Structure 1
């Protein structure tokens, strides 16, 4: 007959569990005689911080536990002893308003090891840390196998070899497997721990969901709604007609509760028809005369319709040089600008366009964003610099005339999403402008791309428009999923870059 199925439960420890707890702890620390918690101490811990005392039971019997307190970590710093952090076992160091969950005990009795029970305790502790919005978990960890190697190597060498899996340590190997890192080596942390030769590792696990001093009124949202305008190039008659269409789309997208509305590159090109008698370079400089006024009006729309506007791009003349500029018009009335870094060969030849020299992320009420204009996204280095600055969403206004040109933008934008673990939203224009020189045909399919991992669409495409159709695309992106990807993704392209071998550096 097969053995009966064991019933495993993770729950809060109670005072009634003490006898099982003592028996299990004596068994777990057989090499450290007398190392078990006394009943009054356990009762005090439970009364101070009941949710922090976690037990794992098998068929109703406590076979392991994880004990914790909350501390104001700055008061102790990285150099402390076990006695100091526990208030000499009084736990008067516990501070419900502290910022770190301090692990003071984890064990599973030996005859129940190999059943992943300790992992359940660690997972429960991590969930508690997240629920309490604490910075992370800190604990002092034993290195009980060090006594076998102490005459051959330093404690630092031992820890490095355990991390490289050249040596197995029953405690430290497990800590590494649970995403803990060694912050410091402690001396005399537990003076009576002969197996560890008095040494301990100060371990840390970071809570990626931690929010410091979260403002309940103005806060960064976890789910962000993006509206892409697939803009129809047509004759709008005059600047008022053009702005009427801009306002229409901002109004429409804001009605869906969007946080961002994105217009395409050079979406004001229809207004260039009034300069058609000029050569191409003169015509686009004529168009640039409208840019400041258009930015001011769009800035007003952003406030009026409560939506952040990525105002596509428009030509502008600065110090007699022609640039292609995009504006982030925030819904609080402020704005910032980005100048296209890489003008295409055609833009240089026909218009004398010059590239900008600024690579930066922009802070918004919905996280950190980047802006690149069309050809810029075909160069991977600027996007990586933005990702290293914390970019979560990259917006790419573009304008392409053929499907080949469009695919260059699309494929590169999707690559940027994968390699930088971020969302990328591209918005383009369609149609034709028969009365505007050098702006003949437009081809576009506007999209929102995602990283490629289990929490995202298998295609890496969150949403996309019908090609060559005037419309809007509305998509929700979850910024929390990016945090989880950075920490737990199948691959982690931001972490695993070989910075010892190469670097992407802005000059």
Structure 2
């Protein structure tokens, strides 16, 4: 089981946090974080329910992590394993993750796929998202998985969709010409772009596009 203590900083003040596997007793806190992290227009039916969370801790408990501050769940990250073929990157979040129920989890899959990451607004600014992502990299290394993958929303794309394609937008973010809340965050976490996926998720801000972003296990080489 995974568990580590870290100190994060709110300005110059250290804040102690514990990152660990989540369990059934954490379900109410996890659902609350989802509701706070993804307010409308994000579809409310995509918030976690107890059946989904039960599958997470049953099918792939190694990929079910949360961060706790002073006994309260402040954020979470969930992953599953899949078989990834670089020649065909197009997919939707729903089909890969089985609508978040992860019955599609492949125990011997070559990639750890990020199903979801969320941090309660109350705790943003501490670097919890990056700390959770780094913890999942450690899971990838521990399990000797080739890579970590996930589709990143592009919430700024909708504002410029009439001026450029989704691929051009992603290139502009990578080149530092545009800041995107999600993609720029993933770049800071060490993720690299693989390509753009249409019809990834019902997401008006991103015009339903997502950027497939990867992190390769430095101990696994082609």
Normalised-by-shorter TM-score class: 0.7 to 0.9
Write the distance in 1 (CA, Å) between the matches of 2:14 and 2:23.
25
Give 3-state SS (helix, strand or coil) of 1:73's partner.
coil
**For the residues of structure 1 that align with 2:99 and 2:185, how far apart are their CA atoms?**
27
Q: 1 CA distance for matches of 2:101 and 2:78?
A: 14
1:187 equivalent to 2:198? Answer: yes
Displacement of 1:174 in angstroms is 0.7
Distance 1:88 1:120 in 2: 25
The corresponding residue for 1:275 is none
TM-score normalised over the length of structure 1: 0.39
Aligned to 1:57: 68
Are positions 1:201 and 2:207 aligned together? no
Matched, 1:127 2:138: yes
**Which whole-Å CA distance do the structure 2 matches of 1:50 and 1:76 have between them?**
29
> 1:200 & 1:167 partners in 2: Cα distance?
16
Q: Which residue of 1 aligns with 2:113?
A: 102
Distance 1:11 1:59 in 2: 14
Unmatched runs of 5 consecutive residues or more in structure 1: 213-507
Post-superposition Cα deviations, 1:292-347, rounded to whole Å, max 9, x if no partner, equal xxxxxxxxxxxxxxxxxxxxxxxxxxxxxxxxxxxxxxxxxxxxxxxxxxxxxxxx
Confirm whether residue 11 of structure 1 aligns to residue 20 of structure 2. yes
TM-score normalised by L of structure 2: 0.87
Q: Count residues in correspondence.
A: 209
Aligned-pair RMSD on alpha carbons?
Answer: 2.1
CA shift, 1:111, in A, is: 2.3
* Selected match of 2:167 from 150, 153, 156: 156
Q: Is the radius of gyration larger for structure 1 or structure 2? A: 1
Query: Deviation of residue 145 (structure 1)?
Result: 1.6
Cα displacement (A) at 1:5: 6.1
Instruction: Report deviation, 1:76.
Output: 9.5
Give the CA deviation at 1:52: 0.7
SS in 2 for 1:172: helix
Of structures 1 and 2, the one scoring higher in RCO (CA 8 A, sep 6+) is 2
Say whether 1:167 aligns with 2:191: no
Q: Is the 8 A contact 2:77 2:132 kept in 1?
A: yes
Question: How many angstroms apart in 1 are the aligned matches of 2:55 and 2:159?
Answer: 37
For residue 74 of structure 1, report the CA deviation from its aligned partner.
3.6
- 1:136 is matched with 147
Residues 185-242 of structure 1: CA distance to partner in whole angstroms, max 9, x if unpaired? 101000x211111000111111110268xxxxxxxxxxxxxxxxxxxxxxxxxxxxxx
Please, which of 78, 103, 127 is the counterpart of residue 89 of structure 2?
78
Contact 2:63/2:136, CA 8 A, preserved across alignment: yes
Alignment CA distance shift 1:75-1:184 (3 Å):
closer
Summarize the Cα distance change of 1:26–1:157 in structure 2 as closer, same or farther, 3 Å threshold: same
Q: Do structure 1's residue 39 and structure 2's residue 50 form an aligned pair?
A: yes
Aligned residues of 1:76 and 1:85 also touching (Cα < 8 A): no
DSSP 3-state at the match of 2:104: coil
2:29 is aligned to 20
